[in-house]
């Protein structure tokens, strides 16, 4: 008989820190729950009588206990570092305060401060009132977005054959901005994660601004508060495909449109490109959780929540209680729990502290943050089962519907992933882990003709990835300017390295290069990843739980729910009640507007060096510190309880079949792929164009890095020089893929065959001149590039490359 007391020794994390556990004790406790394999007295193993259970040994429990200890240690170090940093700040602040109080003007400072505090109280309350009124306007049916750009309707999704609550709008260029109708269009998809749409164009310096100021036709995918009854993610993806086709119809002379997806809009963009590979251009996924199980122990607590709240069963229950609608406020509240100090204190104190200047920013952002949108049960269930809990998209086993399997390896266009180490909602492992789960190595990426690029930011937070002005000026601006030429890259995995060169502000310039990376190097840059097995166990239990719920409680819950009960449940949620009470619907708030107008006319702010003002700010810092400590404790307990529940070997074993990824399948011989065989059969077949592309690939592979300037010169050559200019874009892309395979699999034969592709000496000299023009000046070339140019010249029976001759001459003179 299992005795819960057996777990008492390791149920308290603080006792564990003081007295580490003996793995044998843990094993013996679990042995009472499930029959396990244990050592016998004679050295042989006493096997479980149940042959269906895995053979689990004491050593596995040693790893289990060590993992629990590491989790507490990791969170302990993080909490200690955070606390020490805050203590140093507070010591400095209180030191200054003690000196400031030594003044004969203390009485006047007190009067100034009390008047200032009273006035700020009124202005602060008025800011909350404005937020509440915007919330009421939204709840009563307003479909305004937070887009700061004028826009016009292009496609209304409710009028499509499969109606959805999505629409396509075109951004109207501001005065003085010229847009080229034959330029590459940009389509931006915002996240539908409980909030409204428009955050990607929330500011002038944004993704929208970066695209439209470079002359690109820019479109935005918006959505309304309530979904069309019965709509599914398959319907939404079909609608977005219709949007792309409409954009292509409007710009027939333009390259395929770039699709940019933010957060959950990122995986939506990937779904679109994977299921409609022939209609989209490059896909940019910003902070998109494509591999939700991925992360590091001691970090990323949000990924553990699914294992602590019942998996997909919870969202089904909430959808049924909502009378067939899932309330997005539930998702927003999860985000808010990640940072109690910001949710309950910092953002409000910042408003209070800088109320004369902070109100427009606060109200503008809260208009988006507090606009709660709904989903259908089918939509939220698909998201949870295929992403948050099941991770089926990352594992390569997601189905959009009964007929459509989603395989991210089917995406034909370049993929650009933008992630940040400072993102606690979508860490780099979640944004990039799907690559390691889908491909065994970069050779497979090349064989399939895919170009995957990624860039990592050091510290920007999740929202900052697509809201921050500094990110828009640097990363988004460089991504958009580089996308003009990115399709000239050979297939492979690249890191987009952006380095500041010189200048300040708007004059700042950046150097961009594309460095070849292996999958192992990429994952090392993200910080590594831990085991999938505990999350697979959660997914398995979630599947069982939802089946039991569907067969037992669901009919009852659906029968007792109605429109009135659903509205009552939504209106009484804490997220909404707070804002209702702040609005003019509350009679106590109605006089605030008039009081605020009077205060603004007589405003007398206290000086920053007022000792009471300084003490207030220092006290606010102490509150932030306390709440940050509570956050650290909360994160430790979330992760501790998750691994305590789902990290034990017998529990993990039950989810074993769900932990496997595509990359773990037996390795297929890539040479047997039709594309590879076709390419290798054509090593000695081709013409001038094939030869030039092969030479350029040799040059790029010699350096293991491609500068943006070279990429742009290469793209100009492909677009403006015959015979490339008259080719269709698809033909050029296939040629680059074919030659990349030839150089990758048979480099010596590919080099030796160049004279058979470029026959005349005139064409060989022309090919060499094009390669040297793209390689750039002698100062730009590495020794490897110079050596490769010389080798190409010798293979083609030409004199040594002029660039190498010049270098050798200068060396001899020196």
**pLDDT by residue (tens digit) across 749-777?**
999 999 999 999 999 999 998 888 888 77
Shared-domain flag, residues 385 and 286 = yes
Measuring CA to CA, how many Å separate 161 from each of 1, 352, 377?
60, 50, 21
Is residue 479 within 8 A of residue 455, CB to CB? The reply is yes
> Given this model, what pLDDT does residue 809 score?
45
Residue 78 counted as domain residue: yes
Q: How far apart are alpha carbons 446 and 434 in whole angstroms?
A: 16
Residue 344 counted as domain residue: no
> Given this model, what pLDDT does residue 404 score?
93
> Given this model, what pLDDT does residue 269 score?
96
Q: How confident is the model at residue 663 (pLDDT cuts 50, 70, 90)?
A: low
Instruction: Note the pLDDT tens digit of each residue in 11-58.
Output: 454 444 445 555 556 555 545 544 444 444 344 444 443 444 445 556
Instruction: Find the helix packing angle between 761-775 and 708-720, rounded to 10°.
Output: 140
Tell me the sheet residues that pair with 406: 398
pLDDT at 562 over 90: yes
> Given this model, what pLDDT does residue 476 score?
61
399-413, 471-485, 594-608, 692-706: range with lowest mean pLDDT: 471-485
> Given this model, what pLDDT does residue 548 score?
95
Q: How far apart are alpha carbons 388 and 482 in whole angstroms?
A: 32
Q: How far apart are alpha carbons 174 and 150 in whole angstroms?
A: 8
Verify cis geometry, omega within 30 degrees of 0, for the bond prior to 723.
Answer: yes
Instruction: State mean pLDDT over 499-511.
Output: 60
> Given this model, what pLDDT does residue 609 score?
85
pLDDT at 516 over 80: yes
Instruction: State mean pLDDT over 405-431.
Output: 90
148-162, 459-473, 504-518: range with lowest mean pLDDT: 459-473
Across the chain, mean pLDDT equals 83
Q: What is the residue range of 212's domain?
A: 151-297+380-537
> Given this model, what pLDDT does residue 484 score?
67
Q: How confident is the model at residue 670 (pLDDT cuts 50, 70, 90)?
A: confident
311-315, 486-490, 801-805: range with lowest mean pLDDT: 801-805
Residue 729 counted as domain residue: yes
Q: How far apart are alpha carbons 463 and 423 in whole angstroms?
A: 8
> Given this model, what pLDDT does residue 783 score?
82
For residues 744 and 20, the model is more confident at 744
Q: How confident is the model at residue 124 (pLDDT cuts 50, 70, 90)?
A: very high
Residue 685 counted as domain residue: yes
Residue 355's CB is within 10 A of a number of other CB atoms, namely 23
pLDDT at 242 over 70: yes
Instruction: Note the pLDDT tens digit of each residue in 104-115.
Output: 778 888 999 999
Short-list 705, 750, 644, CA closest to 29: 644
DSSP 798: P
Shared-domain flag, residues 506 and 389 = yes
User: The tokens 């390669």 sit on which residue?
Assistant: 771
pLDDT at 683 over 80: yes
Q: Choose one of 537, 570, 605: the last residue of a domain.
A: 537
Tell me the sheet residues that pair with 374: 327
Instruction: Note the pLDDT tens digit of each residue in 184-195.
Output: 999 999 889 888
> Given this model, what pLDDT does residue 811 score?
44
Highest mean pLDDT among 27-36, 86-95, 322-331: 322-331
65-69, 146-150, 438-442: range with lowest mean pLDDT: 65-69
Residue 601 counted as domain residue: no
Shared-domain flag, residues 260 and 166 = yes
Shared-domain flag, residues 645 and 680 = no
Q: How confident is the model at residue 315 (pLDDT cuts 50, 70, 90)?
A: very high
> Given this model, what pLDDT does residue 756 score?
92
Residues 6 or more apart in contact with residue 67 via CB below 8 angstroms: 297, 643, 647
Verify cis geometry, omega within 30 degrees of 0, for the bond prior to 147.
Answer: no
Alpha helices in 515-610 (DSSP H): 519-526, 533-551, 554-560, 563-571, 574-582, 592-601
Residue 492 counted as domain residue: yes
Shared-domain flag, residues 639 and 677 = no
> Given this model, what pLDDT does residue 420 score?
87
329 half-sphere exposure, CB direction, 13 A CA radius: 21
Q: Choose one of 614, 637, 667: the last residue of a domain.
A: 667
Residue 529 counted as domain residue: yes
Q: Choose one of 617, 639, 667: the last residue of a domain.
A: 667
Tokens of 552: 């037992």
pLDDT at 297 over 50: yes
Measuring CA to CA, how many Å separate 447 from each of 394, 440, 441, 694?
20, 12, 10, 16
Q: How confident is the model at residue 800 (pLDDT cuts 50, 70, 90)?
A: low
Angle of CA points 366, 613, 599, to nearest 5°: 60
> Given this model, what pLDDT does residue 462 score?
73
Shared-domain flag, residues 157 and 213 = yes
Domain count, the chain: 3
> Given this model, what pLDDT does residue 661 score?
75
CA-only gyration radius of the chain, Å: 30
> Given this model, what pLDDT does residue 2 score?
39
Shared-domain flag, residues 700 and 805 = yes
The 3-state DSSP class for residue 501 equals strand
Short-list 328, 356, 375, 2, CA closest to 164: 375
Instruction: State mean pLDDT over 405-417.
Output: 92
Instruction: Note the pLDDT tens digit of each residue in 455-492.
Output: 888 877 777 776 665 655 556 666 776 776 677 778 89
Measuring CA to CA, how many Å separate 320 from each of 540, 549, 558?
22, 11, 6
Shared-domain flag, residues 198 and 283 = yes
404 half-sphere exposure, CB direction, 13 A CA radius: 17
Instruction: State mean pLDDT over 393-413.
Output: 92
> Given this model, what pLDDT does residue 43 score?
40
User: The tokens 């590459």 sit on which residue?
Assistant: 184
> Given this model, what pLDDT does residue 505 score?
53
CATH code at position 463: 3.40.50.1820
User: The tokens 């305590």 sit on which residue?
Assistant: 644
Shared-domain flag, residues 633 and 685 = no
Residues 6 or more apart in contact with residue 400 via CB below 8 angstroms: 233, 234, 237, 271, 275, 406
Shared-domain flag, residues 504 and 645 = no
Instruction: State mean pLDDT over 619-627.
Output: 87
Residue 303 counted as domain residue: no
Helices (H) and strands (E) in the chain, counts: 38, 17
Q: How large a percentage of the chain has pLDDT more than 70?
A: 83
Shared-domain flag, residues 660 and 681 = no
Through-space distance between the first and last CA atoms of the chain, rounded to whole angstroms: 88
Q: How far apart are alpha carbons 32 and 654 in whole angstroms?
A: 17
259 half-sphere exposure, CB direction, 13 A CA radius: 32
Is residue 594 within 8 A of residue 600, CB to CB? The reply is no
Instruction: Note the pLDDT tens digit of each residue in 360-370.
Output: 999 999 999 99
Shared-domain flag, residues 403 and 527 = yes
């Amino acid at each position: 008989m299992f005795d819960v007391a057996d777990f008492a020794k390791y149920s308290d994390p603080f006792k564990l820190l003081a007295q580490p556990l003996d793995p044998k004790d843990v094993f013996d406790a679990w042995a009472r729950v499930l029959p396990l394999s244990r050592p016998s007295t004679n050295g042989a193993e006493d096997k479980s009588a149940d042959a269906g259970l895995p053979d689990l040994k004491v050593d596995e429990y040693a790893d289990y206990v060590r993992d629990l200890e590491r989790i507490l240690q990791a969170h302990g170090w993080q909490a200690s570092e955070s606390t020490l940093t805050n203590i140093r700040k507070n010591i400095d602040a209180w030191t200054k305060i003690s000196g400031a109080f030594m003044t004969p003007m203390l009485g006047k400072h007190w009067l100034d401060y009390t008047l200032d505090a009273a006035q700020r109280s009124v202005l602060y309350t008025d800011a909350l009132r404005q937020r509440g009124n915007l919330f009421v306007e939204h709840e009563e049916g307003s479909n305004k977005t937070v887009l700061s750009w004028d826009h016009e309707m292009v496609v209304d999704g409710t009028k499509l054959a499969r109606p959805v609550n999505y629409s396509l709008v075109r951004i109207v260029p501001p005065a003085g901005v010229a847009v080229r109708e034959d330029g590459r269009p940009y389509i931006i998809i915002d996240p539908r994660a409980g909030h409204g749409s428009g955050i990607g164009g929330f500011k002038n310096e944004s993704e929208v601004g970066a695209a439209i100021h470079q002359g690109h036709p820019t479109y935005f995918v918006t959505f309304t508060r309530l979904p069309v009854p019965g709509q599914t993610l398959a319907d939404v993806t079909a609608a977005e495909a219709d949007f792309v086709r409409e954009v292509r119809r409007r710009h027939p002379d333009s390259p395929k449109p770039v699709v940019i997806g933010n957060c959950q809009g990122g995986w939506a963009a990937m779904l679109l490109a994977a299921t409609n590979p022939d209609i989209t251009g490059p896909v940019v996924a910003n902070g998109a959780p494509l591999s939700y199980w991925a992360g590091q122990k001691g970090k990323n607590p949000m990924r553990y929540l699914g294992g602590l709240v019942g998996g997909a069963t919870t969202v089904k229950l909430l959808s049924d209680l909502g009378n067939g609608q899932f309330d997005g406020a539930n998702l927003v509240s999860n985000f808010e729990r990640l940072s109690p100090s910001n949710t309950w204190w910092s953002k409000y104190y910042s408003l209070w502290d800088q109320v004369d200047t902070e109100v427009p920013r606060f109200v503008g952002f809260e208009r988006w943050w507090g606009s709660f949108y709904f989903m259908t049960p089918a939509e939220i269930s698909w998201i949870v089962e295929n992403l948050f809990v099941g991770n089926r998209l990352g594992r390569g086993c997601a189905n959009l519907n009964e007929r459509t399997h989603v395989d991210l390896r089917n995406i034909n266009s370049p993929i650009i992933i933008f992630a940040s180490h400072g993102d606690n909602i979508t860490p780099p492992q979640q944004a990039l882990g799907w690559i390691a789960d889908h491909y065994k190595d970069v050779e497979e990426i090349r064989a399939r003709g895919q170009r995957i690029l990624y860039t990592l930011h050091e510290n920007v937070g999740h929202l900052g990835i697509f809201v921050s002005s500094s990110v828009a000026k640097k990363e988004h601006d460089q991504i958009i300017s580089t996308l003009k030429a990115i399709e000239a890259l050979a297939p492979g995995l690249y890191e987009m390295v952006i380095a500041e060169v010189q200048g300040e502000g708007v004059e700042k310039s950046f150097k961009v290069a594309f460095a070849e990376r292996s999958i192992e190097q990429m994952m090392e840059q993200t910080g590594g990843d831990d085991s999938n097995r505990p999350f697979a166990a959660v997914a398995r239990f979630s599947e069982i739980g939802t089946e039991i719920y569907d067969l037992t409680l669901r009919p009852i819950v659906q029968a007792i729910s109605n429109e009135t009960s659903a509205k009552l449940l939504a209106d009484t949620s804490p997220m909404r009640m707070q804002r209702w009470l702040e609005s003019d619907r509350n009679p106590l708030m109605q006089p605030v507007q008039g009081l605020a107008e009077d205060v603004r006319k007589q405003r007398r702010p206290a000086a920053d060096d007022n000792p009471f003002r300084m003490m207030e700010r220092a006290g606010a810092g102490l509150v932030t510190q306390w709440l940050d400590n509570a956050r650290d404790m909360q994160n430790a307990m979330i992760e501790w309880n998750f691994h305590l529940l789902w990290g034990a070997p017998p529990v993990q074993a039950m989810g074993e079949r769900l932990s496997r990824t595509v990359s773990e399948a037996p390795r297929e011989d890539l040479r047997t792929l039709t594309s590879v065989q076709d390419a290798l059969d054509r090593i000695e077949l081709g013409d001038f164009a094939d030869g030039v592309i092969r030479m350029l690939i040799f040059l790029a592979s010699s350096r293991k890095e491609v500068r943006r300037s070279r990429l742009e010169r290469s793209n100009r050559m492909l677009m403006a020089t015959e015979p490339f200019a008259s080719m269709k874009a698809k033909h050029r892309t296939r040629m680059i893929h074919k030659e990349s395979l030839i150089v990758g699999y048979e480099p010596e034969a590919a080099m030796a065959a160049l004279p058979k592709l470029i026959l005349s000496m005139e064409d060989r000299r022309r090919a060499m001149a094009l390669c040297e023009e793209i390689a750039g000046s002698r100062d730009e070339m590495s020794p490897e590039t110079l050596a490769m140019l010389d080798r190409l010249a010798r293979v083609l029976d030409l004199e040594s490359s002029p660039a190498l001759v010049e270098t050798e001459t200068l060396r001899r003179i020196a």
